[in-house]
Structure formats: C-alpha cells, structure tokens
Structure 1
Amino acid sequence: MSETTTQRPGPDASGEGRSLTKRGDAGARGRTTIADGVVEKIAGLAARDVDGVHAMGGGLSRSFGAMRDRVPGGGGKSPARGVKAEVGESQAALDLEIVVDYGVAIHEVARDVRENVVAAVERMTGLEVVEVNIAVSDVKLPDEEDDEDDGSSSRVQ
C-alpha cells in the first residue's frame, strides 16, 4: 500500500503556501463540518475586541436585541448579532454590520476588524476566509444613549 499526500489548507513552515498531510492520518479519517452560527459567533467576538467598535448590527437589530436582553431568560447579548456567515467545506465568507465610536478613523477600524476576524476564524476553524465585508451602519456619539443599556432607565417597572 503506497502513501499518498494531499494538499491541506494551512501555512507551511515558512508561513506561506499549504502544508502536506499524509492520507491515512487521523485527520483524513472523517469529516468535520462547522455550522454558520459557529463562525458567526467567532467573528462577532473578534470584531467586538477591536477598539473603536461600539456595537454590532444595525439600529433595528440592536433595538430588538436590547429588548430581548431585558426579558428574563432572553438569552443575553448574542455574539453573532450583526454577523452573517456562509460556510463551505474549506472556505468562509462573512458580512459584518458595525457601529463605530465617534472620532475614530473608520477605515482603520474596518481594517483592524477585518484582520482580527480573519485571524480568529482561520485559527479556530481551519477554514480559509475568502472575504469579510463590513458595513458601518452608525456612529455612536458621546452624548447618545446606548440602545444596549442594562435596562435600568426603563420607564416601565
């Protein structure tokens, strides 16, 4: 029986290209699928880690999310809010909707979000991220109330 090598995604020792895996290794003896929601959560958490990102999602989704967060058992803040992923066998494409803080350089925040999301998703899933589209839907001004507050200012008790 001859050993066959196949191309697998991932950097080689030089940090470029793809590494080789021998067929018959444990990694080739089954199939792993990763749900869109898993990638969406990873991307959402990675995007929130970037300075200048105030929130994820558009105004309507943030409003509904804030209402859901106030309901007992509502599940808390969803890490996947504002993220849509399409996951294939070896690749993923992502769309993110973010709100940035006033005064930040939006193009730099978008670049940092993209880099952080790509690094996190590729590291945790092994998928190749082929695109990360970012839509900036709002700017959080310093004197604006937060849509995602803790509910303590609610008029209804």
Structure 2
Amino acid sequence: MTETRAGTEAVKASGGMAVGASGSGALSSEQGRTMIADTVVSKIAGIATREVTGVHNLGGGTARAVGMLRERIPGSRTNMSQGVGVEVGETQAAIDLAIVVEYGVSIADLAQGIRRNVIDAVERMTGLEVTEVNVAVNDIHLEEEDDDDTGEAEVVAERRVQ
C-alpha cells in the first residue's frame, strides 16, 4: 500500500483512499490523484458567498466596474469568481473575499455566515480542508443609491433636451 499525506493508517482504514481531516474522501488514492484548479475553488466560494442574504456584490471598486461593463455585453455571464482570491494546495485551501454589504446588516454576523457557507460548500464539493476564509468589506450598499443613479441620469437627460 502506498503512503499518502494522510498517512498509512488512514489509507488502510478507508479501503485505499486517504481521508482528510473533515472526513471527506481525499484527493489521492492508489488509483490516482485528483487535481482541483484554483478557478474551481474560486467559483464555488463566489457562488456560496452570493447565496448569503446581506451580500450585495463581490469585489472592490475596479473589479465591480469591470464586471458591470462585461455584464452589458450581450451573451456574457456574471463572473462568479469576481472578488475571490484563493490559494489551493494538495489537501487545503485558503480563501479571501472582498464584498459589498447591504446597509443595516450586521457585518460580524454576515461574515460568520459567509465563512460557514463557503467552508461547507468548498469542503463538500472538493474534499479540500478550508484553513481560512478572510472577508474584506469594501463598501456598503444603500438602496437609494440605485434610485438616485437612475433619477440623476434622467434629470441630466431632461436638461440637455430642454
């Protein structure tokens, strides 16, 4: 039997498959290895973050601006990994998130909910142990910002027409 990072005993106990700390099937076995790209973990983390109520958007100012431009192109899709940085090793992953929160939401509770959801999703789908999820709050979204932007554009257009 070959020894993996999880050790010989873990391989024997699981019938030839290394078992990670979270109890999920690991990525190395006697039959081969499974490699998971950074982009896969990044997309999973981005989707899991967007699922949490109170998250308005992901990314810093520049990333959001580029994302908004890209979404206006016909046939383009939302970049699920916008605002997500990951470091993926053989058995572990670390995740950095940049978010915009809705006004009125408890940031501490939101960050804890994001961590819980991201860790659950990444560990369940990849078998990687998530060592940390860092959350950077870059902005706060006010509901009236959407209304003000539209109204201001209409006022400017009216002035130019008169």
- Which residue of 48, 68, 92 maps to 1:46? 48
For residues 53 and 27 of structure 1, what CA distance do their matches in structure 2 show? 38
RMSD: 2.5
Task: Name the amino acid aligned to 1:78.
Answer: N
Aligned residue pairs total 136
Deviations 1:77-131 (A, max 9, x none): 1111110111000000000001000000000000000010000000000000001
Q: CA deviation at 1:10?
A: 4.6
- Tell me if 1:100 matches 2:101: yes
Query: What is the alpha-carbon distance in structure 1 between the residues aligned to residue 119 and residue 85 of structure 2?
Result: 14
Structure with bigger helix share is 2
- Asked if the contact 1:10/1:126 (under 8 Å) is kept, the reply is no
Structure 1: runs of 5 or more not aligned? 13-17
Normalising by structure 2, we get a TM-score of 0.76
Report what 2:88 is aligned to.
87
Q: Which amino acid aligns with 2:68?
A: A
Task: Decide whether the 8 Å contact of 2:84 with 2:98 is kept in 1.
Answer: yes
Paired amino acid for 1:140: H
Q: TM-score, normalised by structure 1?
A: 0.78
Contact 1:58–1:97 (8 Å) recurs in 2: yes
- 1:58 matched to 2:69? The reply is no
In percent, how many aligned pairs have the same letter?
A: 51
Give how far 1:72 is off: 2.5
5 Å-filtered alignment, 1:7-156, equals 8-11=19-22, 27-73=29-75, 75-145=76-146
Structure 2 alignment gaps of length 5 or more: 2-7, 12-17, 158-162
Query: What amino acid sits opposite 1:122 in the alignment?
Result: E
Q: Indicate conservation of the 8 Å contact 2:22/2:129, yes or no.
A: no
